[in-house]
C-alpha cells in the first residue's frame, strides 16, 4: 500500500479546511487492512481513521498517519419472514446502504436517508435524523483494536449509544477501527412518521406511506431543500449538540426567557442549540472566512479559505456567549482533530 507524505486534506473534510497530514494512506481492500497493522508508520505515529470527513474539524495539521477508509461490501447475513440482518463493510457510503435497504423494501433506516459519510462513521455518533437513530436498528459493530490488531464484536449494548454519542466517541475514542456494522431491518411495515416536519411534508404532498421509499423520498426532498450542501459551502451539518435540561432548570430559564423554545422528548427537555445561538445574535454573522449560516444558526460554514483555527475560535466565541446569556454549555457535535 502506498504511503504519501505531507498530504493535503482539504478535499477530505466537508468543512473544506486546509490541513496537511504528515503521512496518508488509503484502505481499499482486506489485504491492505492486514498490511496496515504492520506498517512502521502505523506502529510509530499517532493515527486517525477518516470516512467521509463530514463530522471532523482539523484545527491544525495532523502530525501522524491519516487512513482513509474505502473498504466496501454489503451482504445479507440471514433473514426470516419478519427481519433481515444486513452486514455492511465500514467504508460504504451510508446513503448507499440506505438505498440498498429501501430497494429491498426493508424498514428501519429510511428516515436516515442522505446523511453524509460512511457506514463506519455512523455508530461513532449514533447518527440520527427525522425521528430515527441508528441505535434502533444496530445489531453489532465489528472493530479492530489499533494497538494489538485484535478483532472484537461490540453488541449494540456495548456501544453505549446515546444522543450523538457512543463508546467510540468517548471511553474508547481513537482506540478501534470500525470495520463492519450489522443492522437488523424489518420486512414488516414500520413507518416512523413521528417527526412533525416529516409528517407535515407527507400530508401537504398527499403522500401515503406504502413502502420505505415513500419516507426516504420525503426525507431526501426535505433535506435537499433545507440543508446547505458542503459541495457549495463548507460545513459539517449541525456543529453543536442540542441541550437537554431537567424541569427545574427549564422553569428557572423561563423566568428570564419566557419565550424559550423547548421540546419534551421522553423524560427529557430539549432546548434547540440553534435557537440559543440565534438569540445571541450569531445567525448569519461572518468573521473573516468563516461564519454562521444565514438560515441555520446551528451550522458553521467556511466561505472558502477558512482555517480550522478560525472555526475553532468562532465555535468558542459562540459557546462563551451562549453560556454568558443562558448559563448553558454548548458541546460540539463535530470531532475536533
Ligand X SMILES: Cc1cc2nc3c(=O)[nH]c(=O)nc-3n(C[C@H](O)[C@H](O)[C@H](O)COP(=O)(O)OP(=O)(O)OC[C@H]3O[C@@H](n4cnc5c(N)ncnc54)[C@H](O)[C@@H]3O)c2cc1C
The continuous run of DSSP H or E covering 43 comes out as helix 40-44
Strand partners, 85: 78, 184
* Count of residues near ligand X by CB under 6 A: 34
In whole angstroms, the minimum distance from the beta carbon of 209 to ligand X comes to 20
Please say which residue, 212 or 230, places its beta carbon nearer to ligand X.
Answer: 230
Q: Does 32 qualify as catalytic in the annotation?
A: no
**Grid cell in block for residue 4:** 504519501
Q: Apex CA 235: angle with CA 325 and CA 21, to 5°?
A: 115
| Binding residues for ligand X restricted to 21-60, rule: CB under 6 A | 48-56
Residue 274 binds ligand X, judged by CB under 6 A? no
Name which of 68 and 202 has its Cβ closer to ligand X: 68
Which C-beta is closer to ligand X: that of 237 or that of 308? 237
- Long-range contacts of range 324-330, CB-CB < 8 Å, 24 or more positions apart? 325/276, 325/279, 325/280, 326/253, 326/257, 326/276, 326/279, 327/253, 328/243, 328/245, 328/253, 328/271, 328/276, 329/243, 330/240, 330/241, 330/243, 330/273, 330/276, 330/277
Q: Which stretch binds ligand X (CB under 6 A): 96-104, 193-201, 231-239, 282-290?
A: 231-239
Residues numbered 103 to 142 that lie near ligand X (CB under 6 A) are 115-118, 120-122, 124-125, 127-129
State in angstroms the smallest separation of the CB of 112 from ligand X: 7
Instruction: Choose between 121 and 308: whose C-beta lies nearer to ligand X.
Output: 121
Q: Which three cell numbers stand for residue 146?
A: 489499533
Q: Residues, the chain, total? A: 337
In the complex with ligand X, which residue's Cβ is closer, 166 or 253? 166
Nearest Cα neighbor of 32 from 87, 74, 70, 88 is 70
Which residues 163-182 are close enough to bind ligand X by CB under 6 A? 168, 176-178
**Sign (positive or negative) of CA dihedral 336, 143, 92, 167:** negative
Q: Which residues in 189-228 contact ligand X (CB under 6 A)?
A: 227
164 catalytically annotated? yes
Kindly report the three-state secondary structure assignment for every residue of 221-260.
Answer: HHHHHHCCCCCCCEECCCCECCEEECHHHHHHHHHHCCCC
The residue from 92, 164, 307, 310 that is catalytic is: 164
To the query of whether residue 110 is one of the catalytic residues in this protein, the response is: no
Q: How far apart are CA 99 and CA 86, in angstroms?
A: 13
Q: Which of 92, 142, 310, 333 is catalytic?
A: 333
Name which position in 14, 59, 111, 279 contacts ligand X (CB under 6 A): 14
Asked if 97 is part of the footprint of ligand X (rule: CB under 6 A), the reply reads: no
Q: Which residues bind ligand X (CB under 6 A)?
A: 14, 48-56, 69, 90, 115-118, 120-122, 124-125, 127-129, 168, 176-178, 227, 230, 235-237, 335
Active site residues: 164, 238, 333
Amino acid at each position: 500500500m502506498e504511503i504519501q507524505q505531507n498530504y493535503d486534506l482539504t478535499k477530505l473534510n466537508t468543512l473544506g479546511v486546509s490541513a496537511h497530514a504528515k503521512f496518508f494512506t488509503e484502505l481499499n481492500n482486506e489485504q491492505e487492512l492486514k498490511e496496515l497493522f504492520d506498517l512502521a508508520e502505523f506502529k510509530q505515529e499517532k493515527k486517525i481513521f477518516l470516512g467521509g470527513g463530514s463530522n471532523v474539524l482539523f484545527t491544525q495539521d495532523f502530525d501522524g498517519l491519516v487512513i482513509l477508509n474505502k473498504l466496501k461490501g454489503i451482504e445479507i447475513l440471514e433473514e426470516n419472514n419478519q427481519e433481515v440482518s444486513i452486514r455492511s463493510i465500514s467504508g460504504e457510503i451510508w446513503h448507499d446502504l440506505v438505498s440498498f435497504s429501501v430497494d429491498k423494501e426493508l424498514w428501519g433506516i429510511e428516515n436516515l436517508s442522505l446523511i453524509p459519510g460512511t457506514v463506519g462513521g455512523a455508530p461513532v455518533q449514533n447518527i440520527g435524523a427525522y425521528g430515527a437513530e441508528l441505535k434502533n436498528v444496530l445489531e453489532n459493530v465489528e472493530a479492530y483494536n489499533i494497538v494489538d490488531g485484535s478483532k472484537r464484536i461490540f453488541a449494540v449494548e456495548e456501544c453505549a449509544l446515546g444522543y450523538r454519542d457512543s463508546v467510540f466517541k468517548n471511553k474508547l475514542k481513537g482506540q478501534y477501527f470500525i470495520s463492519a456494522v450489522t443492522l437488523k431491518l424489518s420486512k414488516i411495515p414500520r413507518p416512523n412518521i413521528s417527526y412533525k416536519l416529516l409528517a407535515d411534508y407527507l400530508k401537504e404532498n398527499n403522500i401515503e406511506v406504502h413502502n420505505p421509499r415513500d419516507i426516504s423520498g420525503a426525507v431526501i426532498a426535505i433535506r435537499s431543500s433545507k440543508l446547505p450542501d458542503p459541495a457549495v459551502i463548507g460545513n459539517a451539518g449541525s456543529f453543536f449538540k442540542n441541550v437537554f435540561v431537567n424541569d427545574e432548570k427549564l422553569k428557572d430559564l423561563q423566568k428570564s426567557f419566557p419565550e424559550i423554545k423547548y421540546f419534551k422528548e421522553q423524560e427529557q427537555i430539549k432546548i434547540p442549540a440553534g435557537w440559543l445561538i440565534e438569540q445571541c445574535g450569531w445567525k448569519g454573522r461572518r468573521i473573516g472566512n468563516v461564519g454562521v449560516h444565514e438560515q441555520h444558526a446551528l451550522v458553521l460554514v467556511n466561505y472558502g479559505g477558512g482555517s480550522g483555527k478560525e472555526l475553532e475560535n468562532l465555535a468558542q466565541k459562540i459557546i462563551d456567549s451562549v453560556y454568558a446569556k443562558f448559563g448553558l454549555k454548548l458541546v460540539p457535535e463535530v470531532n475536533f482533530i
